[in-house]
Amino acid sequence: MLNKLLFHRFPNLKSWLTRIQYDLITKFDRGNEVLFMNFGYAHPEPIPLSPEEEYHRYPLQMYHKVADHHGVNWQNAEALEVSSGRGGGASFIVRHFKPRSYAGLDFSARAVEYCRKQYQHLKELSFHHGNAEEIPFADESFDVVVNVEASLYYPNPHRFFEHVRRVLKPNGYFLYTDLRYEEKVAVWREQIKAIGLKLVYEEDITDNVLRAMDLDRERRKALVDRYVPRFLRRQFYHFAGLAMDNIASTPHLEKRRYWYFVLQKA
Ligand SMILES: C[S@@+](CC[C@H](N)C(=O)[O-])C[C@H]1O[C@@H](n2cnc3c(N)ncnc32)[C@H](O)[C@@H]1O
């Protein structure tokens, strides 16, 4: 409830609190276990993963879902991920889809610092500190822009969309997934159609996300219990997609719907 009020009435305050929360995750994660921060995606056919990747299966499958669009020629791509968080998705895409280069951008300075150290062995990867609403890259510099579960925190998503259109090269792809409260979905889809990019594909993936949250709940709860001080746990259970009132109850997205979009600069 408080969350919803913040989202709707005070988006700048919400954005500021979000930055503190994501900075705290980097501070708390002493075991280096939080490489992804999305709710996850349950694939109808689970993708084959290495033993190290298996621990991150559901949030990693979200990245696989987003990146695996047949139109994208990853092998020659210069890609940008806006709100790359702890870099798990960036590292996965670089290893599995093999773009020429992949830049991650995030407004959490701690997350960027963490990623620069954690992934220094992947030469195609670079991490940059900056705001999604003022993307610090030149016009027409990327073949692909990726954005996973982050634009809900941006106070002015239309500014982000304008920058995406600006930094994409002609024919470049915008691979985008996020969630919105049910009553806001229609407006959101109109905003997306108004970006000035061609909508190539769209899908409501809420059921896959809910299924992932269910399958991944014990891991998420254990993570919060292990690293977060007791007095902050309620807030972090909520953040990790565990119900706030009763963490044993069925996962839910607070009446939000999760969508996946593929757009192209035609
Ligand atoms: C839910 S996390 C998702 C991170 C990553 N995409 C993933 O799936 O693991 C949201 C991310 O958005 C970033 N973020 C929120 N507002 C931002 C903004 N205005 N500009 C850039 N990054 C932002 C946060 O720092 C955080 O890393």
Contact, 86 vs 37, CB < 8 A? Answer: yes
Ligand 1 atom nearest residue 22's Cα: 25
> DSSP string spanning 208-233?
HHHHHHHHTHHHHHHHHHHHS-GGGH
Distance 106 CA to ligand 1 centre (A): 6
- Model-level pTM? 0.91
d(CA 122, CA 65): 22
Please list the alpha-helical segments (H only) found in the chain. 2-9, 11-28, 51-54, 57-67, 88-97, 109-118, 157-167, 185-193, 206-215, 217-227, 233-239
| Complete domains list, the chain, with CATH | 32-202+259-264 (3.40.50.150)
Q: Give pLDDT tens digits along the chain (266 positions).
A: 556 666 667 777 777 777 777 777 777 766 678 899 999 999 888 899 999 999 999 999 999 999 999 999 999 999 999 999 999 999 999 999 999 999 999 999 999 999 999 999 999 999 999 999 999 999 999 999 999 999 999 999 999 999 999 999 999 999 999 999 999 999 999 999 999 999 999 999 999 999 999 999 889 888 888 888 888 888 788 777 776 555 556 667 888 999 999 999 99
Give the chain's length: 266
C-alpha 202 to ligand 1 mean position (Å): 22
